[in-house]
Structure 1
Amino acid sequence: MVSVAEHGSVGSKARVLLIGCGGIGSVAALNLELGGKAVVTAVLRSNFTHVKQYGINFRSIDHGVIEGFKPSTIVNQIPDVTDSEAEPFRFIICTTKNTPDVPPTIVDLLKPAVTIGHTVIVLMQNGLNIEIPVPKAFPQNICLSSVTFCGSHEVATGEVLQEDNDRSTIGAFRNEKLWPEDENNAAREFCAIYTAGGKCVADFKPDVAFSRWRKLLYNACLNSMCAVTDLDTGRMQLADSALDLLVRPAMNEIRAAAKAHGIDLPEELVELMVSMDPITMYNPPSMQVDMRKGRFTEFENIVGEPVRAGLSKGVSMPILSTMYSLLKALQWRTRERRGMVGIPARVDHTTTTR
């Protein structure tokens, strides 16, 4: 086993690279900078020019109203630390959408910025089995799971609305080539840095699998159904029979799949997840926001992976299997609209003999 040494700091502050600065990433950057234990380099894409000039405005349940916040460094491409002169990052946090069916892959994003054996990779992303390619590409680097409930959206360029308290569970994805003590210490270190400002909660939870399956009750079921129906979580609760015929049965499919893999999700979690968002918040969850904006969704990791995991153990998952097929078709539609799929030209069939 390899022992991972600590380095990548500026004075007493950890150097942190944040890839993705939308709703979740912006709140993460704010927590890290205000805590005073991190110096953040944020990688932005579509909102780079605006944020570079004007910063980010927040209306936040945790932070109140903040205008013009800027991370310490704002860039529009992943820094390359393979140059011997470049300073290493202690942590790289990925908050970008994890879409294995659409390039670039998570490994492609990380590769230029990882210092082998030193950088701790934090996947602040949704879904199951998202870590699988990381230890294959970076076997000497610790990889952490951050399961986050935050209710944060970039409602306009540089405008972030956060209506739910930022709560995370942090743990290490086990890598048999590394010492568990090092992995757990890195998770605790990240919790301390992230919560130093006192405005959020990040609990060290070594049982990563439980945390991820637990969030799938919300994401694979409520999130995905909001995306397909275009009903936010408030309207989903108000819609006739939507909860009883779709959401709750789907959540019980997740419970059954998790149980088949040794994870016991208590029955009361179903009602907790159903009512997590107050009706009058009318919260559009992440996949619904992506669908409305014509973006790719994380359907493979959020729905496809738990469906495959359940089916592999003989668990019947009819509702989520259907949701997966619908989301896959909708992803194809997005690919076609972006010119990534070629289709035959339309023919006027009023003049064509069959």
Structure 2
Amino acid sequence: MELRAKILVVGGGAIGGLVAWRLSINHNLSVSVVCRSNYDAISRHGYRISSALYGEGTYIPESVFASVEQAQSAGPYDYVVVALKALPNIYDCPSLIAPVISANTMIVLMQNGIGIEASFAERFPEAPLASTACFVSVKQTSPGHLKHGAFAMLAAGMHDGFRTRPNIRKLQQLLRILEHNQVNCLYEHDVQPYRWQKHILNGSTNPVSVVCGGSSCQEMVRNDHCCKLLQELMAEIFVLGKAVTGKAFPGVDGIVDPQSATDYIKSIPVPVYTSMLVDSQCKRPMELEVILKNPILLAEKHNVDVPNMKAMYALLSMIEAGYSK
């Protein structure tokens, strides 16, 4: 039976906009988007998308809301996709989405970082919670304008305590729709190794790019000293991730160790600038808690030494404090 569902995407930036677009191709789905800084552009003109995989496209969401409170009146929702930046030190994301969550709403997290699920599970013990690692090269070049590369893969699974057959089936139905619409999707019983896999690049290139003062990822790996620092950070992530999950990393993009990770960066033909670098240049809060602090806390719990990670957190905390005054 084909899924008929009402979906709300909270966070209409790059990932949220792209996922909403691919879901909306299925006409049995009602897909709405909550936008924040780009609300005016999306509500007036929708999205303009340039994709190496999907081609050129325009996407006008069924409904665009300026807040979750506005979206509440159009509910209830079968799925709420959370694609906001993970900034627990700035705002409480579970409280933000609370108006649209019921016991029948599946929460699907599409955020960066490590340890992001616990606050949602605590706030909504009855609502099924899924976590997703997004391997998607997409950025919002200006409000409502998305530039996407040639790759889109999501690895998703139910969070601990929510792995019942009905919940798994409901998540798999959503993934099948995305798969049908050319998004490569994997259902994983335990998605955390995929989160750590993504963190190999996220947890290294993001902080180092800020300290380097604006370098692209390719420029960083071409510098011997910087490349060595990146590889040392990556090595810490490999060791810590295996200690936390008890499992090997899945090896997405052929990344199985620090050397293959920096080789992968070198192979990317166009300059890549990290989201954390862009946030720092725009004097916006950086995702320091979920990219650095949470892994450091896990390292202390599992007795793993992460000196480079701690140094990055100390430096970036000072940088952010400096421009936030």
TM-score normalised to structure 2 length:
0.91
Judge conservation of contact 1:122–1:144 (CA < 8 Å) in 2: yes
Aligned pairs (5 A) from 1:218-237 = 218-229=201-212, 230-237=214-221
Report deviation, 1:23: 1.2
Q: Which amino acid aligns with 2:183?
A: C
* CA shift in 2, pair 1:156/1:173, >3 Å: same
Which position in structure 2 is the counterpart of 1:208?
191
Distance 1:23 1:192 in 2: 21
Report deviation, 1:37: 4.4
Which position in structure 2 is the counterpart of 1:242?
226
* CA shift in 2, pair 1:179/1:258, >3 Å: closer
Distance 2:48 2:70 in 1: 29
Matched, 1:107 2:98: no
Write 1 or 2 for the structure with the bigger share of helix: 2
Judge conservation of contact 2:280–2:320 (CA < 8 Å) in 1: no
SS in 1 for 2:41: helix
Distance 2:134 2:163 in 1: 25
SS in 1 for 2:224: coil
Judge conservation of contact 1:40–1:72 (CA < 8 Å) in 2: yes
Judge conservation of contact 1:38–1:193 (CA < 8 Å) in 2: no
Q: Percent same amino acid at aligned positions?
A: 23
* CA shift in 2, pair 1:12/1:279, >3 Å: closer
Which position in structure 1 is the counterpart of 2:319?
330
SS in 1 for 2:151: coil
Matched, 1:94 2:82: yes
Report deviation, 1:223: 2.2
Aligned pairs (5 A) from 1:71-150 = 71-79=61-69, 87-103=75-91, 105-115=92-102, 117-150=103-136
Q: Which amino acid aligns with 1:88?
A: P
Give ranges in structure 1 of 5+ residues lacking alignment: 1-10, 337-354
* CA shift in 2, pair 1:276/1:182, >3 Å: farther
Report deviation, 1:188: 1.0
Judge conservation of contact 2:238–2:257 (CA < 8 Å) in 1: no
Q: Which amino acid aligns with 1:76?
A: A
Matched, 1:25 2:31: no
Aligned pair partner of 1:41 in 28, 32, 43:
32
Judge conservation of contact 2:109–2:131 (CA < 8 Å) in 1: yes
* CA shift in 2, pair 1:285/1:72, >3 Å: same
Distance 2:70 2:123 in 1: 16
Q: Which amino acid aligns with 1:147?
A: A
TM-score normalised to structure 1 length:
0.84
* CA shift in 2, pair 1:157/1:19, >3 Å: same
Judge conservation of contact 1:80–1:113 (CA < 8 Å) in 2: no
Report deviation, 1:184: 1.9
Which position in structure 1 is the counterpart of 2:299?
310
Judge conservation of contact 1:296–1:334 (CA < 8 Å) in 2: no
Matched, 1:166 2:156: no
Distance 2:236 2:283 in 1: 29
Matched, 1:191 2:175: yes
Distance 1:18 1:291 in 2: 26
Report deviation, 1:75: 1.0
* CA shift in 2, pair 1:293/1:275, >3 Å: farther
SS in 2 for 1:150: strand
SS in 2 for 1:217: helix
SS in 1 for 2:107: strand
Tell me whether 143-152 or 309-318 shows the greater mean CA deviation: 309-318
Judge conservation of contact 1:32–1:196 (CA < 8 Å) in 2: no
Report deviation, 1:12: 5.0
Which position in structure 2 is the counterpart of 1:339?
none
Give ranges in structure 2 of 5+ residues lacking alignment: none
* CA shift in 2, pair 1:133/1:237, >3 Å: same
Report deviation, 1:302: 1.1
Report deviation, 1:271: 3.7
- Residues 203-233 of structure 1: per-residue CA shift (max 9 Å, x gap): 1111222111111111111222123322121
Report deviation, 1:327: 1.8
Distance 1:82 1:155 in 2: 29
Q: Which amino acid aligns with 1:319?
A: N
Judge conservation of contact 1:42–1:73 (CA < 8 Å) in 2: yes
Q: Which amino acid aligns with 1:14?
A: A
Which position in structure 2 is the counterpart of 1:352?
none
Tell me whether 140-149 or 324-333 shows the greater mean CA deviation: 324-333
Distance 1:16 1:311 in 2: 38
Which position in structure 2 is the counterpart of 1:349?
none
SS in 2 for 1:280: coil
* CA shift in 2, pair 1:319/1:142, >3 Å: same
Tell me whether 209-218 or 278-287 shows the greater mean CA deviation: 278-287
Aligned pair partner of 1:66 in 45, 57, 70:
57
Report deviation, 1:255: 1.4
